[in-house]
Amino acid sequence: MLPADALRDVSILVVEDDLDTCVLYERALTAAGANVRTASSVEGALGLLAAARPDVVLCDLHLPEADGYALLEQVRADPALAGIPIIAISGSHPELEHDRALAAGFARHLPKPSKLHEIVTAVADLAA
């Protein structure tokens, strides 16, 4: 079990279009000490990324209009952002999505639903 301040001073961008899920992730990560910003779309995430570079991005793969793969592609194309680890999270076809996400360049893939401590642990591992 990670300490309550496992993510102290870690900046995280959560990209999730389901409001309840977004709030759940935000609360869990904030409780672990993280500074969390949220976006519900790729466009919103890119705006936040332009304003401040987070340590880690947690991104739902299935977003409206453009998906998490589109966000990954745009982040990797920007030299100022390319090194940010991005965790994919998805509830559809976890076995197939896992391999596809890792092959595309996501640092990790977590299935939905994931236990909150698994999300916090994945973020902590990548932020270290």
Q: Going from the N-terminus, what domains does the chain have, and what CATH number goes with each?
A: 11-127 (3.40.50.2300)
Q: Is residue 73's pLDDT more than 70?
A: yes
> What pLDDT is attached to residue 91?
80
Residues 7-26 have a mean pLDDT of 94
The set of residues, in sequence order, having a beta carbon less than 8 Å from that of 30 and lying 6+ positions away, is: 36
Band of the pLDDT at 1, cuts 50, 70, 90?
Answer: low
What's the whole-number average pLDDT of the chain? 91
Q: Is residue 12's pLDDT more than 60?
A: yes
pTM above 0.75, yes or no: yes
The tokens for 115 are 């236990």
> What pLDDT is attached to residue 115?
87
